[in-house]
Amino acid sequence: MNPLAVELNEVLKDSVASRLLSPLGTRMYFPKGIISQSAEATERAHRFNATIGMACAGGKPLILDSIREGLPTLSADEAVAYSSTGGSAGLRKRWRAELDVKNPSLRGKRTSLPVVVPGLTAAISFAADLFVDEGDEVVMPDLYWPNYRLVIEERKAAAGVTFPAFAPGGKGMNVAGLESAMRDSAKRAAARGGKPRATCILNFPNNPTGYTPTLAEADAIVEALVRLAKEGTAVLAIVDDAYFGLQYEDGLLRESIFARLADAHPGILAVKADGPTKEDYVWGFRVGFLTFASAGLVDAQLEALVKKLLGVIRSSVSSSSTPAQSLFLKALDDKRSKGQKEAFHELIRERYDEAKAFIASGGVPSCLKTLPFNSGYFMSFDCVGISAEKLRLKLLDEQGIGTVSMQDRYLRIAFSSVDKSGVKDLYSRIAGAARELASGS
């Protein structure tokens, strides 16, 4: 059990609440991770707050004009009526059409109609409700969004199994490590008395590293999962597309890997978790989607999965926010949105370029090893010989800079939330603080 849960249980010891807690309630805790570090930064990071996964300008979140102007235009039905359990029918159909536009190789492939859920966290959690049981395993890279652990290990009492995210030498994604971890997990599943099965989470661009596979690496991932399926393993691939479309280099996978897995093999079930949160700059809307696809499923079977998902939604949150769905559908229909999104993308890419240029200039000390990054909102340093948490606190206390430490080894910087004019200063101060820690001063 997580030490934080143990601490909370000790506080509740001998109380009626302690006697009544369910196994899930007993395991649950609030992690001291990104959210708590971001809260600290909100109060104390007076210079730069590079913690939270938002895109800002002048310290304020970016917002599409169609969203800003849309709220007063909502009718009573669009603003306050109950939403259907699976979400607005118009929005579901429109999002499915958008998937084809953004993923040309998905066109003509059979998928379920996307189901609306209250954000990407809910999408991952609901997928786990359907497919992950106590004692199961979920494979993910060792650099992952910490909320996966809370969902998988505490909510589901399953195990998160990690592999090194990058290949030896740190030159690219460790596809061989993914395949090996999946194969070993399938063997353990069979040994527990079941049939071989293996589940993975594929998150591109990755949080916290900001890495997207190359086209060749994407092909290799699909080939690896197909090999496992051909060997008789039932493969579940949960595709977390939270940062979809935010690539900044040539030769990268720009479609969702879901499009490649949708009809890759009858033994592979692909589950796409996505939404407008980052793609459309509406972080607080809490609107996401879940979509199913497999070469082995006919329409009736896909619809059966949707109905099971509707049961999960109905029994937990009932339905998603009506005004958020209504506003987002208006934004999709607004002709201005495409151009404005492209402009916002360019704004973030310029910040990415500034970070890359500083690192390429040799301004980063040897105690900060830059992990590969080419996309998304973030990049991360591997802190060599120094504590990432001590570096985070030093930056916060002495410089008024908010960053995120993970595993006391990695420091994540959200360049998306820092204006271009401040990126060089941000990285200079991080480098200086790291040098001081390394020298003991």
Amino acid sitting at position 79? A
Residue 6 domain flag: no
Q: Average the pLDDT over 4-17 and give the result.
A: 71
Same domain, residue pair 415 and 343: yes
Residue 243 domain flag: yes
Same domain, residue pair 422 and 329: no
Q: Name the percent of the chain lying above pLDDT 70.
A: 90
Same domain, residue pair 225 and 103: yes
pLDDT of 170 reads: 77
Same domain, residue pair 315 and 176: yes
As separate numbers, helices (DSSP H) first and strands (DSSP E) second, the chain gives: 18, 15
Structural domain including 278 reads 83-333
Q: Average the pLDDT over 175-197 and give the result.
A: 93
- CATH code at 221? 3.40.640.10
pLDDT of 32 reads: 64
Q: Average the pLDDT over 114-136 and give the result.
A: 91
pLDDT of 323 reads: 85
pLDDT of 40 reads: 67
**Residues whose CB falls within 8 Å of the CB of residue 389, separated by 6 or more in sequence, listed in order:** 405, 408
35-49, 76-90, 192-206: lowest mean pLDDT where?
Answer: 35-49
Q: Is the pLDDT of residue 29 over 70?
A: no
Same domain, residue pair 345 and 197: no
Question: In the predicted model, what is the mean pLDDT of the chain?
Answer: 88
Q: What is the C-alpha to C-alpha distance for residues 421 and 57, in angstroms, rounded to an integer? A: 11
Residue 76 domain flag: no
Q: What is the C-alpha to C-alpha distance for residues 328 and 94, in angstroms, rounded to an integer? A: 11
Same domain, residue pair 102 and 29: no
pLDDT of 39 reads: 65
Per-residue DSSP letters for 132-198? --TT-EEEEESS--THHHIIIIIIS--EEEEE-SB-TTSSSB-HHHHHHHHHHHHHHHHHTTS--EE
Residue 32 domain flag: yes
**Residues whose CB falls within 8 Å of the CB of residue 46, separated by 6 or more in sequence, listed in order:** 400
- Counting the structural domains of the chain, the total is 2
Q: Is the pLDDT of residue 51 over 60?
A: yes
**pLDDT digits 0-9 by tens, 269-312:** 999 999 988 888 888 889 999 999 999 888 888 988 988 888 88
Residue 8 domain flag: no
pLDDT of 36 reads: 61
Q: Average the pLDDT over 119-130 and give the result.
A: 91
Same domain, residue pair 171 and 304: yes
Three-class SS of residue 107? coil
Same domain, residue pair 281 and 389: no
Residue 11 domain flag: no
Amino acid sitting at position 164? P
* pLDDT-derived band at 30, boundaries 50, 70, 90: low
Same domain, residue pair 37 and 94: no
Same domain, residue pair 288 and 404: no
Q: Is the pLDDT of residue 221 over 70?
A: yes
pLDDT of 111 reads: 95
Burial 169-179 (b: 16+ CB within 10 A, else e): eeeebbbebbb
pLDDT of 28 reads: 58
Same domain, residue pair 180 and 329: yes
Residue 329 domain flag: yes
Q: Is the pLDDT of residue 48 over 80?
A: no
* pLDDT-derived band at 57, boundaries 50, 70, 90: confident
Residue 132 domain flag: yes
Domain end point (choices 279, 314, 333):
333
**pLDDT digits 0-9 by tens, 416-441:** 989 999 999 999 999 999 999 998 86
Q: What is the C-alpha to C-alpha distance for residues 158 and 198, in angstroms, rounded to an integer? A: 13
pLDDT of 33 reads: 60
pLDDT of 228 reads: 96
The pTM (predicted TM-score) of the whole model is 0.87
Q: Is the pLDDT of residue 10 over 70?
A: yes
